[in-house]
Amino acid sequence: MALHLFEEKGVPLERQRFTWRELVQTPISKLDDDAFTRVRIILMNGIESEALRFQHACARMNGNLQRPLARVRRVEQHQQTLVNWLLPPDQSALETTIGFEQVAIEITAAVAQQEPDAYLAQVYRFGMLEDFDHLYRYSALMDRVEGMDANNILQCYSDIRPGRPTSVEHRAPEDDLRKPYDRHKAAPISKLNALTIMAAEHQTHDYYMTVGPSFSDPVARQLYAEIASIEEQHVTQYESIIDPEESWLEKWLLHEAAEVYNYLSCAGQESNPRIKSIWERFVDYELGQLHLVMQLMKDIERRDPQEILPHSLPEALPHASQRDFVRKVLSQEVDLRAMGTEFIGKGQEGPDSASVRYRQHMNSQGSPSEAVAAGYQWQPGTELATARS
């Protein structure tokens, strides 16, 4: 990806403006647009959501940064609005959920393959197999409660089959923590990967916590409660791989770089020309924001951003079906469990371990993810397509 971060200045912050009509554009077509257009919208909404979350936390801890943070954050807010409002109103909360899980599978699988650090790649594969199972459970819910086919959203790009069963994903909090990368040694792409997946998972958690109570069906309400709990575990996992010793400005710089990288990946692969122009516009906006933070780093920390950022961005993150990779990981790693920061086989998990005891208690009054998908195998057009009347 031949974009030179230090030469390309993008659009200066003072020229990053919107009108309400620009923020609220005609949404994509749920029926006609490619599933990966929806994947990109959900991903970038998550990236922008993380930008706001991080910048608020940063402002609360750094009085001297509050003014530039407020200025940049206003633009991030409107970028997120524009992106998120591209989702169409005929897409139900459950359909959007299916889209969220497709993001979690396909984007995490792509990240796992490009991640140079073996341990971090393992972390992504571990999390990906859990989200893979969530897609299967939500698809069963959609079929059995709403009589609808999740593949209408997935468009055959992602498999609908069990992964690591959701019912065994529940772990003691200490078993969700991982070892962080070393900010001095990690490759820049490792830092961008971590921010990307942490943002996506945090957004997923927040979305399930928001829409879960809007469902009437008790199984749906329980399933959202259960999977939201796993997403919280995933946020714990992914934020723990990021070096906590990075300074606030260093983290801000990396956030902006991750935004540039992801918008650029979107712009290069978008099939809808109208949406592509939005991604291109936001590459330029993010470059402008990145350069503002570069200058702050020079002025405040007296550090050269070139110590942290690569001169040019890595190759675009592939936005495509990772079916073969996912199947390979599924066949080899479905029985992995976590103990502390390490991954172990399920046979190594002692019956009295904190995670096993926690899991047994949580499931002791029934497991929504098992109940909803009992005996379930996805079929084209729902399981009713072959049911006898």
Partner 1 sequence: MSQNSSAEMGKNRTGIAMSPINAKAVAEGAKESPPSSSGDRHTQDALKAFYLEQSERIGSVPPPANLKGVAKTALKMIQGEKATVLVDKLAERLAFERTGTRLYEAIIGKAEVLAEQSGPRVDELEKIHHQELSHFHMVKGYIENLGGDPTAQTPSADVVGVASSGLLKVITDPRTTMPQSLQALLIAELADNDGWSTLIKLAEGFNQDQMAADFRKALEAEERHLMQVRGWLSARTQEEAGTA
DSSP code for 230: H
- The CA distance from 262 to 44, in Å, is 7
CB of residue 84 to partner 1, shortest distance in Å: 17
Task: Output the smallest distance, CB 361 to partner 1, in A.
Answer: 17
Bridge partners for 171 per DSSP: none
- Residue 54 sits at φ, ψ, to 5 deg, of -65, -45
| Residue closer to partner 1 (CB basis): 271 or 306 | 271
First to last CA, the chain: 55
Instruction: Measure the CA–CA gap between 374 and 270, rounded to whole angstroms.
Output: 38
Torsion of CA 199, 205, 210, 212, to 10 degrees: 150
Tell me the C-alpha distance between 336 and 345, whole Å: 5
Choice between 107 and 293, CB closer to partner 1: 107
Residues that bind partner 1 (CB under 8 A): 26-27, 29-35, 88-90, 144, 151-162, 165, 167, 217-219, 222, 321, 323, 327, 366, 368, 370-381, 383
Report the nearest approach of partner 1 to the CB of residue 235 (Å): 24
Least gap, CB of 133 to partner 1 (angstroms): 8
Q: Toward partner 1, which CB reaches closer, 155 or 229?
A: 155
Encoded tokens for 327: 């199947």
Return the structure tokens found at 34. 């490619």
Is residue 229 within 8 Å of residue 77, measured between CB atoms?
no
Beta strands in 33-112 (DSSP E): none
State the minimum distance, in angstroms, from the CB of residue 219 to partner 1.
5
CB closer to partner 1, 37 vs 237: 37
Q: Is the CB of 218 or the CB of 345 nearer to partner 1?
A: 218
Length of the chain: 389
As measured in angstroms, the least distance from the Cβ of 204 to partner 1 is 21
| Nearest-approach distance from CB 100 to partner 1, in angstroms | 18
Nearer to partner 1, 69 or 373 (CB): 373
Taking the least distance from each CB to partner 1, the nearer of 1 and 385 is: 385
Give the ranges where the chain is alpha helix by DSSP (H). 20-23, 35-61, 66-84, 93-114, 118-146, 151-154, 188-211, 218-240, 248-269, 273-296, 323-333, 354-362, 368-372
